Amino acid sequence: MTALDPSLTIGIEEEYLLVEPDTLDLAARPPRELMRACRKKLGKSVTPEFLQSQIEIGTPVCRNIAEARKALTELREGIITTAEEFDLKVIAASTHPFASWERQVHTPKERYRALARDMQGAARRLLICGMHVHCCIEDEDLRIDLMNQVSYFLPHILALSTSSPFWQGQNMGMRSFRLSVFDSMPRTGIPEHFNDQWEYQRLLDEMKSAGVIKDGTMLWWDIRPSARFPTLEMRISDICSRLDDALSIAAIYQALLRMLTRLRRANQRWRIYPTTLIRENRWLAQRHGVQGKLIDLGRGELVEFGQLLDEILELIEEDATALDSTEEVEYSREIVRLGTSADRQLEHYLAAREAGAKHEDALRQVVTYLIEETRAGIC
């Protein structure tokens, strides 16, 4: 790689849910002092989210995945231990197994008031959490070019991250129901193809001029050029209950961008496939996660996810080595072997039911599991 290649520094954002330890329901109105205590301990890395039962963290800019591991571990630990000081628990899952969105309270912030006012019921239902990964790509045209190419791999990233099989107390039969909720909003999903930064900026300017958005932060695509940083922001993934899963996904995303940059230097590129086919893989990842199949678009046939992952890891082996993230990238095989958070939530639920627990009690056992898994290996 050369000095003209992107730095690919990395940053990770995660959204967590706050839980009452007695009912295991969400804390719809947590103490105001909680956010102040989190900010005192962790600084500006902590921010409120759309709902008061949510809290968001963001790592600083990290030079490599080792720095990201250290930062994310400290932030997760800080949120968990501070919440416990206020007799609250934290879960890293993209949906709560049984909480009702109708009982949640919006954060009193103008941005969130405007979101609720403009989007109405579509926004009020946003009781969902995700993980976003930023990678720095200084050149704007390269940022757009890599966005076009890496979109192919977004369903694979989603499959590895799934953590939202339950919604409003129901098993939705999907590993990631979060995206089904989010897709009721406009400007979501796989973005269209752009030839360059100028074409992207033209669309952005037209939407701003029409008055439908204020800025690029209101493009809620699965991947987008960040409106705040010189980064390409991956947004498709659920939040992972296990820290190691999150870091593996972040490392794979970073390595994919390096691989695509490396191909570009050799005057090669990843083929741009029809967005409809990528969306179909997105749906298959939502539905089955790592337990199912995705379309190998080159071969035009369904292939087991584990096989597709093996091929991806072979593609990025050189890049993971260069980025010193081989261990994290290879850990993705463990995600397939052990299952994602969604798989384990379903296993805990079914085991509880088979042991004689009622539906509601089985869901509470899933929440207890999520509390323990979010805390495991950190605190």
124: nearest Cα among 134, 112, 108: 112
Tokens of 21: 């330890």
Strand 188-189 relative to strand 220-221, pairing: parallel
Q: Sign of the C-alpha dihedral, residues 59, 240, 164, 288?
A: positive
pLDDT computed for residue 106 by the predictor: 83
Alpha carbons 16 and 94: distance in angstroms, whole number: 8
pLDDT computed for residue 253 by the predictor: 98
Residue 118 has pLDDT above 90, yes or no: no
Q: In what helix (H) or strand (E) does residue 246 lie, and over which residues does it extend?
A: helix 243-265
Residue 321: how many CB atoms within 10 A of its CB? 12
Per-residue pLDDT of 130-161, as tens digits, reads 999 999 999 999 999 999 999 999 999 999 99
| C-alpha distances in Å from residue 192, one per residue of 130, 160, 182, 202 | 22, 23, 18, 13
Alpha carbons 37 and 170: distance in angstroms, whole number: 34
Residue 359 has pLDDT above 80, yes or no: yes
Q: Please enumerate in sequence order all residues whose Cβ is within 8 A of that of 123, keeping only pairs 6 or more positions apart, or say none.
A: 50, 115, 116, 185
Per-residue pLDDT of 293-321, as tens digits, reads 999 999 999 999 999 999 999 999 999 99
Mean pLDDT of 91-97: 98
Tokens of 241: 């209950």
pLDDT computed for residue 1 by the predictor: 59
Structural Rg of the chain based on CA atoms: 20
Q: Please enumerate in sequence order all residues whose Cβ is within 8 A of that of 201, keeping only pairs 6 or more positions apart, or say none.
A: none
pLDDT computed for residue 166 by the predictor: 98
Per-residue pLDDT of 52-87, as tens digits, reads 999 999 999 999 999 999 999 999 999 999 999 999
Tokens of 184: 């009721």
pLDDT-derived band at 3 (thresholds 50, 70, 90) equals low
Alpha carbons 235 and 218: distance in angstroms, whole number: 13
Residue 357 has pLDDT above 60, yes or no: yes
How many percent of the chain have pLDDT more than 70? 99
pLDDT-derived band at 2 (thresholds 50, 70, 90) equals low
Per-residue pLDDT of 158-186, as tens digits, reads 999 999 999 999 999 999 999 999 999 99
Q: Are 155 and 284 in contact (CB under 8 A)?
A: yes
Alpha carbons 292 and 308: distance in angstroms, whole number: 11
> Which residues, listed in sequence order, are joined to residue 176 by a DSSP beta bridge?
164
Please name the amino acid found at residue 40. K
Residue 197: how many CB atoms within 10 A of its CB? 16
| C-alpha distances in Å from residue 269, one per residue of 54, 139, 200, 253 | 40, 17, 20, 17
Q: Look up the CATH number of domain 10-375.
A: 3.30.590.20
pLDDT-derived band at 122 (thresholds 50, 70, 90) equals confident
189: nearest Cα among 215, 231, 154: 154
Tokens of 187: 């400007």
pLDDT computed for residue 115 by the predictor: 80
Alpha carbons 59 and 135: distance in angstroms, whole number: 12
Q: Which of 70-79, 101-110, 163-172, 214-223 has the lowest mean pLDDT?
A: 101-110
Mean pLDDT of 108-125: 78
Q: In what helix (H) or strand (E) does residue 54 lie, and over which residues does it extend?
A: strand 54-58
